[in-house]
Amino acid sequence: MTFDPRHPLAGPGDFLGRVTSVGDDGMCTVRDSLGRERSIRYSTRPKGTSPPAEGEDWVIRRLSGKTWALSAMVRAPQPPVVEGTRAGADAVALSVLDALVALGLVEDGTT
């Protein structure tokens, strides 16, 4: 399945792929939404993003010929845990945290 063209991450030829392995050689293996495996150099990921991890879902995009790139991470297998204390926290920050938890994007590990 390709992305819905109205999706903000979608572009012509973009696919959803799950990282199945990450090597020490700078390459990762991604199985796309049609079941095809692709070896992708993970230095192609967007600047500021962490290297891919096994189990993450990424948008993959053809750059040219047989060269593919990691375009955007869609979902991590485990949401990150936000830690800290709620005491004295700003009401807006707490509201944002609660919204992120409700969406399943983070886990609340605050006390």
All structural domains of the chain with their residue ranges:
15-75, 81-110
Question: How confident is the model over 24-65, as pLDDT tens digits?
Answer: 999 999 998 788 899 999 998 888 888 999 988 899 988 887
| pTM reported for the whole predicted model | 0.60
Tokens of 20: 């199945």
15-75 under CATH 2.40.50.140, yes or no: yes
CA gap 43, 32 in Å, rounded? 18
Contact by Cβ (8 Å): 76, 53 = yes
Judged against a pLDDT cut of 60, whether residue 3 lies above it is answered with: no
